[in-house]
């Protein structure tokens, strides 16, 4: 029986994610590539197993949550920086 394989782009489209998130899933052990291939491919059987098991592969998975938390921290730092500038400007006007 032939094994059906998905490319990284196919898997990203299937899960409505971007390719970078698929790479992060690989790095975190959520999914595994088919070994001995030069290009990343994923066995459809493994993908369906993950989907059927109801594993958390949605945009708020632990991996995506960490990415979003880092982004929030970056944005909070920017907001604090601009608030300081605004307060300095207000003090200069007084």
Instruction: Determine contact, residues 58/21, Cβ cutoff 8 Å.
Output: no
**Digit-coded pLDDT (tens) for 37-48:** 999 999 999 898
Q: How far apart are CA 6 and CA 27, in angstroms?
A: 18
**Digit-coded pLDDT (tens) for 50-87:** 888 766 555 566 677 788 889 999 999 999 999 999 99
Domain 1-57 belongs in CATH node 1.10.1660: yes
3-state secondary structure the chain: CCCCEEEHHHHHHHCCCCHHHHHHHHHCCCCCCCCCCCCCEEEHHHHHHHHHHCCCCCCCCHHHHHHHHHHHHHHHHHHHHHHHHHHHHHHHHC
Residue 91 pLDDT more than 70? yes
Specify the pLDDT at position 58: 57
């Amino acid at each position: 029986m032939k094994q059906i394989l998905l490319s990284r782009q196919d898997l990203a489209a299937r899960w409505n994610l971007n390719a970078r998130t698929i790479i992060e899933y690989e790095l975190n052990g959520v999914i595994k590539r088919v070994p001995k291939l030069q290009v990343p491919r994923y066995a459809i059987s493994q993908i369906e197993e993950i989907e059927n098991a109801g594993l958390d592969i949605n945009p708020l998975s632990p991996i995506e949550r960490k990415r979003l938390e880092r982004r929030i921290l970056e944005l909070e730092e920017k907001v604090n920086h601009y608030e300081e500038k605004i307060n300095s400007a207000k003090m200069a006007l007084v």
